[in-house]
Amino acid sequence: MAEIKYEIIKKIGILSKSASGWAKEVNLISWNDRDAKYDIRDWSAGNATMGKGITLSREELLALKELLNSMEL
């Protein structure tokens, strides 16, 4: 499997932390030297290892924001 290259451009925030030290984070990340996208995924302490997650373009993030704002919680 090909190596995945990434650079965390901006750490935006942590959504939750587990007892094992992993954290679900929102970051702006450049994957394989491409334009940076918004990313939500689990990371181990120090961002050494990552879990599965999703990446969103700015437009997708804005659409998600609108959907969340329209929800009754």
Mean pLDDT over the full length of the chain: 95
The predicted pLDDT at position 3 comes to 85
Using the predicted structure, report yes or no on whether residue 49 has a pLDDT greater than 80.
yes
Angle at 5 between CA 4 and CA 8, to 5 degrees: 125
Domains contained in the chain, CATH given: 6-70 (2.30.31.70)
pTM of the model: 0.88
SS3 (DSSP) at 59: helix
The predicted pLDDT at position 7 comes to 95
